[in-house]
Amino acid sequence: MLKDRFDALREKSALVHNITNYVTVNDVANIELACGGSPIMADDIDDAPEITAICGGLNINIGTLNKNTIPSMFAAGRKAAELGHPILLDPVGAGASTIRTETAVKLMEELPLTVIRGNSSEIKTLALGSGTTKGVDADIADAVTEENLEEQIGFAKDFAAKAGCLVAITGAIDLVADSETCYVIRNGRPEMGRITGTGCQLSGMMTAFIVANPENKLEAAAAAVAAMGLAGEIGWSRMEEGDGNSTYRNRIIDAIFNMDGETLEKGAKYEIR
Amino acid sequence: MLKDRFDALREKSALVHNITNYVTVNDVANIELACGGSPIMADDIDDAPEITAICGGLNINIGTLNKNTIPSMFAAGRKAAELGHPILLDPVGAGASTIRTETAVKLMEELPLTVIRGNSSEIKTLALGSGTTKGVDADIADAVTEENLEEQIGFAKDFAAKAGCLVAITGAIDLVADSETCYVIRNGRPEMGRITGTGCQLSGMMTAFIVANPENKLEAAAAAVAAMGLAGEIGWSRMEEGDGNSTYRNRIIDAIFNMDGETLEKGAKYEIR
Amino acid sequence: MLKDRFDALREKSALVHNITNYVTVNDVANIELACGGSPIMADDIDDAPEITAICGGLNINIGTLNKNTIPSMFAAGRKAAELGHPILLDPVGAGASTIRTETAVKLMEELPLTVIRGNSSEIKTLALGSGTTKGVDADIADAVTEENLEEQIGFAKDFAAKAGCLVAITGAIDLVADSETCYVIRNGRPEMGRITGTGCQLSGMMTAFIVANPENKLEAAAAAVAAMGLAGEIGWSRMEEGDGNSTYRNRIIDAIFNMDGETLEKGAKYEIR
């Protein structure tokens, strides 16, 4: 039950080390606090491995990667691997530039990732070695739809098998898969795409969910995705005349802050395939 | 008509590459999304030129420039120039330190800028080679006022001619000029100065406006300035007892999110001189 | 009177140079603007000393320190020292990694700090050379409580004497001490810990308070702490059904924006020991 995954997170202290972009980092920190986790940011090579060591999991987001932070991602990743900590990779913009694609592929190859979370274009880039990422947003041609759902579920499971980790492809319909099981989640609102960083926030929160649920990682990842989508719905329902994307951002994080396992279970729209 | 410039932006996808400061970057991204644009941030030398290539325009903001990002500004700028993309320069703090002044001047000299947007002290620094910038805020001695308006319009046109690009000087009264025409815009609220980054936000949004209006760059830049000022007025009208600058920030971005061309045309207070 | 310290800040222009982390930097800038100060951020070695020179005080926060910004902290600190500007050190995460601890200790040893502000674990780390910092949050074992208050006041005064500067230990009960006098402040709400960066914001605001009150630094530091806690109370009282930590963040900054010296004096809960 997704409920149990959120309850576990609320009961525990899930310390997450984030090496993430400076665009959305504040919202990532606040949503991790909102869900019951505890964020730390550290991206210097002399700092990152030690910080990872005192945390429970590592969230690597390449959104504003640079020559100083890339080595830190690998160093922290190796330390996390050594300690058996879960590692999430958010390959922001993979497919949009060579360095993003290559870094994401190399992180995938060299680190024992727990989960990769991205939009459909980013994930296709990692799976196929090339993609059609339109900047940091997914290309519509790659989107998961009701029409291609069967095929996309197969793709997600196959890629999970090949990558040896969980795969979360998020968009209008979200897929969270290991090699055998795929959660198909239909929460969320299209307006979430008009806020910067809802994907980054989800990755941060998902890491906290997995840290708190070491025995149920797939369900934990699915719970994080459903929680984010549901928060998008709850946040939208609280929008007033004149509110826009900046206020919507606050309302989504607020909705996570006020959410509990029961609300999540009741509001989650998912099937297991 | 300013209306047409906003309508064009709402209809198109204007992908903007931002090399900007980490202080206000999140708000820049959200206001670009609010106005109908699409932001990408990338500032590593190995990433920036490729990211620029997939975008429609480049927004260079030197607010927290450093030895890693300065070369990226030039490299991305050269790539944008090569591809004929519009380039905006926001010379944050030019006049406040040698490296800021020199970098801004060099960017102006080496890149075929489309527009320079700054406060009066920053622009004076670029025009005269020296300035009295008080940190990142304009010196009151440099301000555009009703008393010195004629002279300031002349200065803006002359500097536009000399720099070979549009010039936007923003403050209580905003001037947006090419060598022959100057929009004088009187939207906005003084309280906008109590929020960090309204200037940075305007620069990001202006780049999106220009990307969407390649045939009407001057009018597009003026439309962005009027839209920002009008959003400041609309946002302020929605302030409730106890609200302050943090909420005001959200309300301004929200106002852009909800604005359309017609609202802009009706609310814009400008004359063409 | 704390009132006078806030009134002085409202009347003056207190330009603060911040070398701070990219997680909470936007909120730091907005709260400095809210309280009547004026923020500038600059962390490149070629920029920081000059920017410090035009400011009134320097706020050094090691939250996302790296090999580029650490030398800038020292260079700006030396320039500030040379000019007699107040310097605040916020040793974020001291005790959590070697580089954080060593950098904070070295900054403390090499710069004539005006005040060190941190949580109890960070301050213990600096005082004792080792600590039990749990990431960027204080260990509960280090907390100031009614039970150990006498002892903690003694510790704060001793450390202030040893460090040769003011010491502000913030948590459920806040202590602001020099070697002889300790303000014990009981404002604030536990929910403030669910927002990222309330400590960073306080450090930024405290620097502005001290810049505006050169003759009353201890009282100015105490006024900043009381103002932050009171803003947490006022902000919380304005929370509506469904609001969470993201909105709470805005409401706290808003409360500072609307606060005046009289409100502070009336709402501050403190004793001098």
Q: Is A249–B30 a contact, with Cβ atoms under 8 angstroms apart? A: yes
Closest CA to C14 of C268, C208, C216, C156: C208
Please give the single-letter amino acid code of residue A52.
T
Contact residues on chain B for A250, CB-CB shorter than 8 A: 250
- How far is it between the farthest Cα atoms of chain B? 51
What distances in angstroms separate CA B259 from CA B25, B28, B246, one per listed residue? Answer: 22, 17, 20
Cα–Cα distance, B47 to B49 (Å, whole number): 6
Assess contact for C58 and B55: CB atoms under 8 A.
no
Supply angle C-alpha C227, C153, C211, rounded to 5: 40
Residues 107-136 (C) with a CB less than 8 A from some CB of A: 134-136
Could you tell me how far CA C271 lies from the centroid of its own chain? Answer: 19
Tokens coding B188: 């906005």
Taking each helix axis from N to C terminus, what angle separates C245-258 and B245-258, rounded to the nearest 10 degrees? 120
Q: Report whether pLDDT(B7) > 60.
A: yes
What is residue A136's predicted lDDT score, i.e. its pLDDT?
A: 66
Which residue in C has a C-alpha nearest to residue A252's C-alpha? C246
CA–CA gap between residue B48 and residue B76 (Å, rounded) = 6
Tell whether A25 lies on the interface with C, counting CB pairs under 8 A: yes
**φ, ψ dihedrals at B89, nearest 5°:** -115, 125
Beta-carbon contacts of A140 under 8 Å, excluding residues fewer than 6 positions away, are none
Pair A187, A226: CB distance under 8 Å: yes
Q: What is the rounded CA–CA span in Å between residue A234 and residue A268?
A: 12
Q: How far apart are CA C55 and CA C80, in angstroms?
A: 9
- Total residues found in chain B within this entry: 273
> Alpha carbon of B15 to those of A137, B27, B30, B79, B266: distances in Å?
10, 16, 13, 15, 27
- C53-61 mean pLDDT: 98
Contact B162, B139 (CB under 8 A): no
Give tens-digit pLDDT for A191-246: 999 999 999 999 999 999 999 999 999 999 999 999 999 999 999 999 999 999 99
Pairs of residues, one from chain A and one from chain B, whose beta carbons lie less than 8 Å apart: 104
| Ramachandran quadrant class, A14 (left: phi over 0; alpha: psi -120 to 50; beta: rest) | beta
What span, in angstroms and rounded, lies between the C-alpha atoms of A39 and C195? 11
What pLDDT, on the 0 to 100 scale, is given for residue B193?
A: 97
Residue B147 CA: distances (Å) to CA of B152, B153, B156, B185, C77: 10, 12, 16, 15, 42
pLDDT digits (tens, 9 = 90+) for C144-165: 999 999 999 999 999 999 999 9
Name the DSSP letter for residue A144. Answer: -
C-alpha–C-alpha distance, residues C117 and A133, integer Å? 45
Residue to substitute from A62, A68, A97, A192, interface B, most B β-carbons within 10 A: A97
Nearest to B271 by CA among B152, B178, B174: B174
Distance, in Å, from the CA atom of C243 to the CA atom of C246, rounded to the nearest integer, reads: 8
- Measuring CA to CA, which residue among A221, A233, A218 is closest to residue A266? A233
Mean per-residue pLDDT, B3-21 = 97
d(CA B49, CA B63): 20
- With a cut of 90, say whether residue A139 has pLDDT above it: no
SS3 assignment for A38-59: EEEECCCCCCHHHHHHHCCEEE
Contacts of A28 in chain B (CB under 8 A): none
Distance set, CA B68 to CA A63, A98, C43 (Å): 16, 19, 12
From the DSSP assignment, how many helices (H) and strands (E) are in chain B?
11, 9
Compute and round to an integer the Cα radius of gyration of chain A. 17
C244 to A256: CB separation less than 8 angstroms, yes or no: yes
Between B138 and B221, name the one with better pLDDT.
B221
User: Quick check: B139 and B122 in contact, CB under 8 A?
Assistant: no
- Asked if B93 has any chain C CB less than 8 Å from its own CB, the reply is yes
The average pLDDT across C231-258 equals 98
Closest-CA residue of A relative to B235 is A242
| Three-class DSSP category at B26 | helix
Query: pLDDT tens digits, residue range A16-46?
Result: 999 999 999 999 999 999 999 999 999 999 9
Q: Give pLDDT, residue A132.
A: 53
CA separation for the pair A31, A205 (Å, rounded): 7
C-beta atoms of C134 and A33 within 8 A: no
pLDDT digits (tens, 9 = 90+) for C18-45: 999 999 999 999 999 999 999 999 999 9
Please give the average per-residue pLDDT across B54-58, as a whole number. Answer: 98
Q: What percent of chain C has pLDDT over 90?
A: 94
Please give the sequence-ordered ranges of beta strands (E in DSSP) within chain C, or none if there are none: 14-19, 37-41, 57-61, 87-90, 115-118, 166-169, 174-177, 182-185, 270-272
Closest by CA to A46, choosing from C132, C66, B67, is C66
Q: How far is C235 from chain B (nearest CA, A)?
A: 9
- Nearest CB partner across the interface for B25, out of A22, A93, A134: A22
pLDDT at residue A121 in the model = 95
Instruction: Give the type of residue at B252.
Output: I
The mean pLDDT value of chain C amounts to: 96
**Residue linked to tokens 């995954």:** A5
Sheet holding B182-185, edge to edge: B37-41, B14-19, B57-61, B87-90, B115-118, B166-169, B174-177, B182-185, B270-272
Kindly indicate the confidence band of residue A134, based on its pLDDT and cuts at 50, 70 and 90.
low
Q: Does B98 touch chain C (CB under 8 A)?
A: yes
pLDDT at residue C140, as a whole number: 72
Q: What ipTM did this prediction achieve?
A: 0.95
SS3 assignment, position B146: coil
Mean pLDDT of C257-268: 98
Segment A113-142 shows an average pLDDT of 82
Give the pLDDT confidence score for residue C131 in this predicted structure.
52
Mean pLDDT for the stretch of residues A43-58: 98
Instruction: Select from B51, C197, C166, C32 the least CA-distant residue to A27.
Output: C197
Q: pLDDT tier at C132 (50, 70, 90 boundaries)? A: low
Average pLDDT over residues A127-147: 75
- Write out the E strands in B20-79: 37-41, 57-61
Which H or E element spans position C118? strand C115-118
Whose tokens are 């690998």? That residue is A74
Q: Tell me the pLDDT band of B196, cut-offs 50, 70 and 90.
A: very high
Residue of B nearest to C27 (CA): B246
Q: What are the helix (H) ranges across A117-214? A: 120-128, 149-163, 198-212
Q: pLDDT tens digit string along C161-187? A: 999 999 999 999 999 999 999 999 999
pLDDT at A130: 61
* Residue A68 pLDDT level (bands cut at 50, 70, 90): very high
Q: 3-state SS of A56-117?
A: CEEEEECCCCCCCHHHHHHHHHHHHHHHCCCEEEECCCECCEHHHHHHHHHHHHHCCCCEEE
Mind listing the pLDDT tens digit for each residue in A82-102?
Answer: 999 999 999 999 999 999 999
Token pair, residue B10, equals: 């709402």
B116-126 confidence digits (pLDDT tens) = 999 999 999 99
CA distance A126 to chain C (A): 28
> Using 50, 70 and 90 to split pLDDT, how confident is the model at B59?
very high
Answer whether residue A48 shows pLDDT above 90.
yes
* Residue C261: pLDDT over 90: yes
Measured in angstroms, the CA of A46 and the nearest CA of chain C are apart by: 7
Average pLDDT, chain A: 96
Q: Does the pLDDT value for residue A131 go beyond 60?
A: no
Looking at this protein, which amino acid is placed at residue C66? N
Give Dmax over CA atoms of chain A in angstroms. Answer: 51
The per-residue pLDDT for C151 is: 96
Q: What is the pLDDT of residue A129?
A: 75
In tens, the pLDDT along C189-208 reads 999 999 999 999 999 999 99
Which residue shows structure tokens 């080679």?
Answer: B129
Determine the residue among C61, C102, C246, C248 to mutate to test chain A binding: the one whose Cβ has the most chain A Cβ atoms within 10 Å: C246
Interval B122-175: pLDDT, tens: 999 999 876 555 566 777 778 999 999 999 999 999 999 999 999 999 999 999
Locate the chain B residue with the closest alpha carbon to A251. B250
